[in-house]
Amino acid sequence: MSTLKNNNLIVLTLFNYLISSSFLFVANANQREVEDQTSFSYVVGAYNGPENWGNLNFPNWTLCGTGTNQSPINILDNTVVVWPSLWDLNTNYKPALAVIKNRGHDIEVEWRGDAGGVIINGTEYKLEKCHWHIPSEHTINGVRFDMELHAVHMSSEGDIAVVGILYELGPPDSFLARILPYLQAATREGTNIGILEPPEVAFGGREYYRYNGSLTTPPCSENITWTVFKTVRTVSLQQITALSDAVDDGNTGNARPIQELHGRPVYLFEPGIVL
């Protein structure tokens, strides 16, 4: 093999390594979202509103104000990098014991048993919980959707990966339909709802966006691997109303404002595309 070919091979191998390793971020377990959300609000301009989260619990929440890899973001299709080697999101979910919580600004389902999870770049992330934001936090080409589900996963090393699913008004969502009967029983500590099958995150489409971001609630921890599915699902108005009425959102919703990208790349996986 010629020297030129050897050099090209080395460059290509290094480039692939950098791309792959950029999706394996470290986020320690002590950087999880706060469970008691009463100390902050989503009211823009309020003393405890989104722009002031970083000042509410110094220094623990500092990244909410100073971080440069924050979420959510506006995803622009004309700037994303198509990257086929991301491959399909490998899921292995299974039914497990779960509880439902009312954390103040959102409703959360937390699995207390082994609910399976996802595999990203060879690392397994176990499904821990999911919750809903109304309206959506991420936007696509400037469009904000009616709702967004976040499925939070954690690896054995404490790395966090979040899967986001966007919704628009339409037929009811089947997973949410199983949750609504328990809304009024939800407590801060968690109410047992028995064996629950996790949502099928890849249902309806395989295309997804991938980027390095943060938790969207305090402490706004960074180095979170985000996967946001491109396909938009449907949720009924009745389901959205039920979720909103169950939490203390002050009729403002619970979506954090869009954060600056600061030059971060956003990747897109589309099956069948070969570079």
Give buried/exposed letters for 16-51 (b at 16+ CB in 10 A, else e).
eeebeebbbbebeeebbbbeebeebbbeeeeeebbe
pLDDT at 12: 38
Question: Is 133 one of the annotated active-site residues of the chain?
Answer: no
Structure tokens of 125? Answer: 């992330």
pLDDT at 47: 95
Per-residue pLDDT band at 248 (split at 50, 70, 90): confident
Domain ranges across the chain: 71-269
* Selected residue with higher pLDDT from 81 and 13: 81
Q: Please give the CATH topology (third level) of the domain spanning 71-269.
A: Carbonic Anhydrase II (3.10.200)
Per-residue pLDDT band at 29 (split at 50, 70, 90): very low
Q: What is the mean pLDDT of the chain?
A: 87
Per-residue pLDDT band at 156 (split at 50, 70, 90): very high
Q: Residues 233-239: what's their mean pLDDT? A: 97
Which residue in the block uniquely carries the two structure tokens 């008004």? 169
**H-helix or E-strand containing 245?**
helix 237-246
pLDDT at 250: 64
Structure tokens of 13? Answer: 């191998």
* Selected residue with higher pLDDT from 69 and 3: 69
pLDDT at 97: 97
pLDDT at 33: 80
The pairs formed by 110-118 with CB atoms below 8 angstroms and a separation of 24 or more are: 110/190, 111/196, 111/198, 115/198, 116/91, 116/92, 116/198, 117/91, 117/92, 117/93, 117/153, 118/89, 118/90, 118/91, 118/92, 118/153, 118/161, 118/163, 118/201, 118/227
The catalytic residue among 105, 131, 133, 150 is 105
**H-helix or E-strand containing 9?**
helix 3-21
Q: Residues 85-91: what's their mean pLDDT? A: 85
pLDDT at 274: 55
Asked which of 14-18, 66-70, 184-188, 193-197 is least confident by mean pLDDT, the reply is 14-18
- DSSP secondary structure code for residue 122 in this structure: T
Beta carbons within 8 Å of 8's beta carbon, 6+ residues apart: none
* Selected residue with higher pLDDT from 198 and 84: 198
The counts of H helices and E strands in the chain are 5, 16
Per cent of the chain over pLDDT 90 is: 75
What pairing do the DSSP bridges indicate for beta strands 139-140 and 74-75?
A: parallel
